Amino acid sequence: MLKVAGGGITTGALSYQGTWNASTNTPTLASGVGTTGHYYVVSFAGTTNLDGITDWQIGDWAVFNGSIWQKVDNTDAVVSVNGQTGAVVLGAANVGATANTTYVLTSGLLSGGGQLNGNVTITLTSVPAANVSGLGTMATQNANSVSITGGNVTANISLTNATNTSATFATASLPLDPAGYLKFQLANSTVVLVPYYAQ
């Protein structure tokens, strides 16, 4: 069905007369002047006033019905896209998107990232103890009653500022034979055994 603008519906035979430039009015058409059934197809959009019609888009028909010119609207063109008219080309900024020239950057313990032209992956492979808040040092852990039971304990330690070269029993009631020995390897690779007594 033809959608006709301008009042009334054209009936009878239509006769194609060629194309019409609605911007320059070429060939020249005038309101109320024409031959019944003659029509032109708009080849260039424009605002020439024909019997009160000024919106002419490419593909529309200008049809004379014997009294006035009517428009057969064959375009249903979009008026604008995002506020732009004409040959619209949209970029990321026009629609509030992040441009694909933006990068996801990583540093420190993170790796991966990359240009935002698709999905990117960020990887965290391991977390050193020094980067864990609240873990503390070995000395702190020992102060928090960390205990080791069973087996032998081997540690690299260094003795400094030693001023006492003798040792005594804490009480005279300790047996001569210890319950066991703690094995330590000093910084100079010397291995020493430290006896301990059960209470």
Q: Which of 74, 8, 7, 88 is nearest to 41 (CA)?
A: 74
Cα–Cα nearest to 20, from 58, 66, 64: 58
Question: Which neighbouring-strand residues pair with 30?
Answer: 33
**What is the token pair recorded at 89?**
């080309």
In the predicted structure, residue 159 carries a pLDDT above the cut 50: no
Q: Confirm whether pTM is higher than 0.75.
A: no
170-181 tens-digit pLDDT: 555 666 677 788
Here the tokens at position 146 are: 């960390």
Q: Is the pLDDT of residue 135 over 80?
A: no
Across the range 151-156, mean pLDDT stands at 50
Average pLDDT, the chain: 75
Q: Distance (Å, rounded) from C-alpha 52 to C-alpha 63?
A: 13
Helix, strand, coil percentages in the chain from 3-state DSSP, rounded to 5: 5, 30, 65
Confidence tier at 132 by pLDDT (50, 70, 90):
low
Residues pairing with 10 in the sheet: none
Supply the Cα-derived Rg of the chain in whole angstroms: 47
Tell me the pairing of strands 61-64 and 38-44. antiparallel
Say what the pLDDT of residue 78 is. Answer: 66
> Tokens at residue 150, please?
């069973």
Per-residue pLDDT tens over the stretch 56-109: 999 999 999 999 999 998 876 566 777 777 677 777 777 777 666 778 888 877
Element (H, E) at 143: helix 138-143
pLDDT in tens, 7-27: 444 456 899 999 999 999 999
Rounded to an integer, what distance in angstroms lies between the CA atom of residue 178 and that of residue 191?
Answer: 18
**Contact in structure between 41 and 22 (CB atoms under 8 Å):** no
Q: Which tokens belong to 122? A: 């960020």
